[in-house]
Amino acid sequence: MYLGQKITCVIPARLSSSRFPRKPLALINDRAMVLRVADIGRKSKYIDNVIVATEDNEIVDLCKKEGYESRLTGKHYTCTHRVAEVSQNVESDFILNLQGDEPLIQSDWIDDIIRFGVTYRCDMVQAIRDLDESEIKDQDVVKCVINNGVVTHCMRDIEVVNENIKSIIGLYLYKRSVINDFPNLDMTFINQWQGLDTQGFIGKYNVMPYNLNCAKFRAIDRPEHIDEVEKLL
């Protein structure tokens, strides 16, 4: 809880990833990825509850064994729809979407975003970092454009790097009313297919960027990313 506001962390996870099947169960330094990420959420000073949202009973069973709450959801094309389904059935003021494939996220970053988002009552806060030139053509890295202090566009393909283009980190804070509205928002097929969930909020809600100023970072999108992440831990 922060400033009297209850905050629930929801971690979306599914076994049927096309680029990396059974990804949440992949071992990162001998601990399943989904559990490692849940550990990060639990270390936050302000998170009241950590919930793993999944369509897979195998993940539910693992979470129960390790003492984590999980919710079995329907099948969804985007992870944000999965988070929204859980959000509609919890009592909370804010929802933190902590992506289950980003074990390099730190609990201090979570606390920073919560302080910022709750203090200013933001509709949504999107974690970002500076984009490296080596990532321009990397389709696994989602980028966003910042104009006048808000996120105005998300994409995977860019031609050049400038100070207004940043990389997205899978850490999002929403007012509960905002994430609950996500299933009603206009998501084009291309945005859903490319995993550009944030784009759905843009236009109706203010998406505030929060630059974590972190060094080298890697989400795990493919099996070959595990070695890189383990070296950075």
Predicted confidence at residue 192, as pLDDT, reads 55
Across residues 176-202, what is the average pLDDT?
Answer: 79
Q: Nearest 10 degrees: CA dihedral of 117, 123, 127, 132? A: -130
What predicted TM-score, i.e. pTM, was given to this entire model?
Answer: 0.94
Q: Please answer whether residues 87 and 107 qualify as being in contact, where contact means their C-beta atoms are separated by less than 8 angstroms.
A: no
* The pLDDT of residue 180 is above 80: yes
pLDDT: which is higher, 160 or 115: 115
Q: Is the pLDDT of residue 190 over 70?
A: no
Q: Which domains does the chain have, with CATH numbers?
A: 7-216+224-232 (3.90.550.10)
Per-residue pLDDT, 188: 62
pLDDT in tens, 98-144: 999 999 999 999 999 999 999 999 999 999 999 888 888 888 889 99
Neighbouring-strand partners of residue 98: 171
